[in-house]
């Protein structure tokens, strides 16, 4: 694949990612309150069994987002080179791992949670307690070190590396840096059990994510022409 083809493909995928992020966010907002957090696994499973639609939409949107983002990660280095090659290669690899784990994690949720919720509803009290207690085992990365931390590191690196010169519009770089910080705030809030950090970071991500990905998509498509 030539650099032009890679730029076009990465650009299209980036624009689609930017469009899917609001879909996931809107689905999350429309979920029943009990499904907006896993703080009470029993309440989550009961609610999911009764009204799974928006959760399934969120899972599906996040799977597609992660898979499409892989093409963006691969295309960006061909736009911002030559820069610090070691940092660029390392963080690109981190992002590929991060988005791959994200896709696999939501695929597990899509495959396993509907069955767990149905079984939870008809089970006896002891089985319900065991099922609810095992809900977090569905997650491949419970604290988000890979799904948020690795991707946040990549966002910080590529935007900081692209800022000098004319490789990247400077406002685009600032939006990307804000997104990278937001990803790491999710990790910090999850590990430290500070919900306000997670809420703030998600709000920033929902706002900045579509802007950054759509803008990057336009930049990549232009470079691919």
Q: What is the pLDDT of residues 169-203, one digit of tens each?
A: 889 999 999 999 999 999 999 999 898 898 889 88
pLDDT at residue 80 in the model: 80
Domain range for residue 57? 3-223
pLDDT at residue 151 in the model: 97
Q: What's the CA gap between 85 and 91, in Å, rounded?
A: 10
What is the count of structural domains for the chain?
1
Could you give the angle at which helices 85-122 and 41-50 cross, rounded to 10 degrees? Answer: 70
What is the Rg, in whole angstroms, of the alpha carbon atoms belonging to the chain?
19
Collect all residues with Cβ–Cβ distance below 8 Å to 224 and sequence separation of at least 6: 3, 4, 5, 6, 7, 8, 9, 10, 11
Q: What is the pLDDT of residues 104-162, one digit of tens each?
A: 999 999 999 999 999 999 999 999 999 998 999 999 999 999 999 999 999 999 999 88
Q: What's the CA gap between 219 and 120, in Å, rounded?
A: 48
For residue 97, CA distances in Å to 94, 102, 103 come to: 5, 8, 10
Q: ∠ CA(198), CA(111), CA(116), 5° rounding?
A: 80
The position carrying tokens 């940092």 is 87
Average pLDDT of the chain to the nearest whole number: 91
Q: What's the CA gap between 125 and 117, in Å, rounded?
A: 14
Q: What's CA 44's distance to the chain center, in Å?
A: 21
Confidence of residue 23 (pLDDT cuts 50, 70, 90): very high
Whether residue 64 contacts residue 99, with contact meaning beta carbons closer than 8 Å, is answered with: no
The pTM of the full predicted model, rounded to 2 decimals, is 0.92
Q: What is the pLDDT of residues 53-112, one digit of tens each?
A: 999 999 999 999 999 999 999 999 988 876 778 889 999 999 999 999 999 999 999 999
Q: What is the pLDDT of residues 42-52, one digit of tens each?
A: 999 999 999 99
The position carrying tokens 């499973």 is 45
Q: Is the pLDDT of residue 224 over 70?
A: no
Q: Is the pLDDT of residue 163 over 90?
A: no
Q: Is the pLDDT of residue 5 over 90?
A: no
Using alpha carbons, select from 110, 16, 93 the residue that is nearest to residue 58.
Answer: 110
Using alpha carbons, select from 49, 59, 54 the residue that is nearest to residue 27.
Answer: 54
């Amino acid at each position: 694949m030539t650099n032009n083809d890679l730029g076009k493909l990465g650009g299209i995928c980036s624009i689609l990612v930017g469009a899917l992020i609001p879909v996931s966010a809107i689905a999350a907002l429309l979920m029943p309150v009990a499904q907006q957090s896993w703080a009470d696994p029993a309440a989550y499973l009961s609610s999911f069994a009764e009204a799974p639609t928006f959760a399934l939409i969120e899972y599906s949107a996040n799977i597609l987002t992660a898979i499409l983002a892989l093409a963006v990660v691969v295309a960006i280095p061909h736009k911002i080179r030559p820069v610090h090659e070691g940092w660029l290669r390392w963080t690109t690899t981190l992002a590929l791992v991060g988005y791959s784990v994200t896709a696999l994690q939501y695929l597990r949720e899509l495959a396993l949670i509907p069955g767990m919720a149905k079984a939870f509803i008809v089970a006896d009290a002891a089985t319900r307690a065991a099922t609810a207690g095992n809900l977090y085992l569905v997650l491949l990365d419970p604290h988000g070190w890979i799904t948020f931390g690795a991707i946040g590191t990549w966002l910080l690196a590529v935007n900081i590396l692209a800022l000098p010169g004319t490789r990247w519009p400077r406002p685009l770089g600032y939006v990307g840096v804000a997104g990278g910080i937001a990803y790491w705030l999710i990790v910090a809030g999850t590990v430290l059990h500070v919900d306000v950090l997670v809420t703030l970071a998600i709000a920033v991500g929902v706002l900045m994510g579509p802007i950054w990905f759509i803008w990057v998509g336009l930049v990549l498509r232009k470079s691919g022409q």
